[in-house]
Chains A and B, each alone.
Chain A
Amino acid sequence: MFIKNALLALGIVTLQSSIAAAQTPADLNDLEIAHVAYTADSIDIRYAHLALAISSNPEIQQFAETMIRDHTAVNDQALALLAKLNAQPQDNFLSQSLQSGAEAKITEMAALRGADFDKSYAENELGYHKAVIDLVANSFIPNIENADVKALFEAGLGIFKEHEAHAEMMVKGLK
């Protein structure tokens, strides 16, 4: 159930039947998981750039800058590890679903301004990190085979949990 909830929170609302018929996140191999993680990091970086462009709230801007800095660092580490392993991340249904969900969310948030945008961005960051944490902790880490890849995901999980707590504080501060 938590995986289904995580997918819903990530904006993947049209794929339940196809997921049931084809694959679940737990079926992905290490290189597909790496692709999902890179995609998820890149999406949060895009959300952050949108926040920097629209919001004038210093707390939102500081959070967005941290998201760009941290998710870029994680992705750089992931790319370095893949290069060391002489491997390429593999596109898959979950990466594609994340991407289409993000496009819809960005279109929705880009139409907002002021406090409405800040609230939407903060709540989306909280929900997004909760969902990513669920996927990483309960679906990805238990199924990753390569020890170095697993270690990177474990490090990433700690970072995402801090982001979640930070986002929660931000959401409360905006109420």
Chain B
Amino acid sequence: MHTLSRRAALSYSAAALAVTGAAPLFGHVKPDGTTEHHVSIKDMKFDPPTVELKVGDSVSWKNLDLVNHTATSAKAGWSTGVLKKGDAESLVITAEMAGAYVCKYHPQMKGMLVIVS
């Protein structure tokens, strides 16, 4: 159980972001205590490319590009399915989903889900 104050948590997250380029470990906290993280797909990139989260959190990917995309991990066996321009898809994250993912159409687009305790 984390007992960091909000200020300490913000400082920690900012430091982590500076070092790793990862998204800070906060987002939209839902009533059940889990957090919804947001990843924009824009200019042929996942933004942020790395999301640190807890098992049970969710990630929402939104496609802001002209072309179709997916967020897909063939290795871990999950995918958002096809996201057309303006589409969004949210997935609840399990431990098995951690690791690298790509757009199945554009393999140069890479993202990462990092599970933290």
Contacts and interface: CB of A to CB of B under 8 A. Distances in A.
B66 A155 contact: yes
B44 interface: yes
A15 interface: no
B105 to A, nearest CB: 5
Interface string A124-163: 0000000000000000000000000000000110110110
Contact count band on B: 10 to 19
B67 A70 contact: yes
A162 B106 contact: yes
B113 to A, nearest CB: 21
Contacts of B66: 73-74, 77, 155-156, 159
Interface in B62-79: 65-68
A113 interface: no
A159 B44 contact: yes
Contacts of A77: 66
A169 B44 contact: no
Nearest to A78: B66
A66 B106 CA distance: 8
Interface string B71-97: 000000000000001000000000000
Nearest to A65: B105
A166 B107 contact: yes
Interface SS of chain A: helix
A85 to B, nearest CB: 17
A149 B85 CA distance: 18
B108 A166 contact: yes
A166 B109 CA distance: 10
A159 B108 contact: no
Nearest to B106: A162
Given A158-B43, A159-B44, A161-B44, A69 B107 contact: no
Given A159-B44, A161-B44, A169 B107 contact: yes
Contacts of B65: 155, 158-159
B45 to A, nearest CB: 8
A66 B105 CA distance: 6
19 contacts: A66-B105, A69-B105, A70-B67, A73-B66, A73-B68, A74-B66, A74-B67, A155-B43, A155-B66, A156-B66, A159-B44, A159-B67, A162-B106, A162-B108, A165-B108, A166-B106, A166-B107, A169-B107, A169-B108
Interface of A: 66, 69-70, 73-74, 77, 155-156, 158-159, 161-162, 165-166, 169
Interface of B: 43-44, 65-68, 85, 105-109
Given A70-B67, A159-B67, 10 more contacts: A66-B106, A69-B105, A73-B68, A74-B66, A161-B44, A162-B44, A165-B108, A166-B106, A166-B107, A169-B107
